Amino acid sequence: MDFFEHQDKARQKTGQLVLYFALAVVCIFGALFILASFIFSRDSVSKTILWDPALAGIVALGTATIVGLGTLFKVISLAGGGKVVAEALGGKLLSHQTKDLPEKRFLNIVEEMALASGTPVPPSYIMEEAGINAFAAGYSPENAVIGVTRGCIEKLNREQLQGVVAHEFSHIFNGDMRLNIRLMGTLHGILLLAGIGYYLMRIGSFSGSGRRNKDSGNIGMALLAGGLGMLAIGYIGAFFANLIKAAVSRQREFL
């Protein structure tokens, strides 16, 4: 199997994993629907409420709204480009006026790789860490950045550093950053379900405590059960979605 066949195989596996990610979201909806069915059913479970289309529509709309808003918030927070991510990681923007020789060499390599790949020269960031690591961040080639650790530019020779930078450019060229941001956004939306579940559980525990009437106690129990269920579904869903996201990232390393 040659290099291009490996690339095609990695793209196919990425597509499969993204489909699994979408199926995980569908499974979360199904779990929430079953939870809502048990909470709102006053009869036995066999009384067909599990197939109530009105309830299914409400749960689907609520799930889509919560996950969608969480996703939108995360994507907007990263819309400032790779600069936002680099600065959040503690990166420092490098200037071409720097007199540090390893930094100059790194900047020259970034320019060479940009020219070779036909992409804009991305801003370059340095993180003051002794380990060898690098990253590319941003939503598109126009707002992408490349960052490396101090250990990366000082411990690697020019050829090795060139290979590292070329690899990060491949992430920019193949749109890996955009895909990763979308998956991160959806994951954030799933975690928002867990967060809402936690607050519903808190409200339910307060409503069910103390001397309250029967209706208030029933509402408190429903909120407590619903919140606990949402908390569990949100965290379990986020766990599996995060595993799939990590698998997607591994496949993109082969491109």
- Name the residues annotated as catalytic: 168
CA distance 76 to 175: 18
What DSSP letter does each residue of 130-165 carry, written as one string? SS--EEEE-SSGGG-EEEEEHHHHHHS-HHHHHHHH
Quick check: 196 and 230 in contact, CB under 8 A?
yes
CA distance 176 to 120: 16
Residue with tokens 């307060």: 206
DSSP reduced 3-state for 230? helix
Quick check: 35 and 230 in contact, CB under 8 A?
yes
In eight-state DSSP terms, residue 136 is E
DSSP reduced 3-state for 128? coil
Task: Count other C-beta atoms under 10 Å from residue 51's C-beta.
Answer: 10
CA distance 241 to 25: 8
State CA 232 to chain mean position distance. 19
DSSP reduced 3-state for 125? strand
